[in-house]
Copies of this chain bind each other. A is one copy, B any other.
């Protein structure tokens, strides 16, 4: 009798997960090019061939990782969106980004690194370009809704801050005064809700 379909699905999922975890670890430490498929399989403790029954290629593994990293970013934004004031928005945005990074430090390190390798990104055929543009738009809308003037420019400042702080944080081995930096960074945006916004949702 064959293994049941269920048992197989469980088996597959477990293996797939092991590969992905091995991949974050190795890609983030040695880079995508610096990690051989053999090393990847070894770290995941499976045979090389099995890897290819789960992913189309080494790039396919990376692609899967990047997708989950984009989800992280989206979640960060959602958390912040519930805050009524600009300062609250920025604070929660940065705080929850820092929490994400604590949870998935390697994944973020990896994804930040890739942001600077447009050729690799392009090969992944992920909507990365579009994703960045959309993120800028969401930041702009969020600030505008909270009464910030020149929302486009301010959104760019904010975007730069988020990226900059994320990088510092992720690259520090520890001891980065994240809370203080976030507080200082957020101080530049008003802590009072805009009247307009109050009127929108009374």
Contact = CB atoms under 8 A, between A and B. Distances in A.
A12 interface: no
Q: Within the oligomer, what is the number of copies of this chain?
A: 4
Interface string A38-55: 000000000100000000
Interface string A13-46: 0000000000000000111011000000000000
A120 interface: yes
Contacts of A153: 177, 180-181, 184
A150 B184 contact: yes
Q: Is the interface of A mostly helix, strand, loop or mixed?
A: helix
A43 to B, nearest CB: 16
A47 B153 CA distance: 48
Contacts of A34: 33, 117, 119-120
Interface stretch (A63-71, A79-87, A157-165, A192-200): A157-165
A157 B161 contact: yes
Contact of A116 (B112, B156, B159, B160): B112
A158 to B, nearest CB: 9
Interface of A: 2, 29-31, 33-34, 47, 109, 112-113, 115-120, 150, 152-154, 156-157, 159-165, 167-168, 171, 176-177, 180-181, 184-185, 187-188
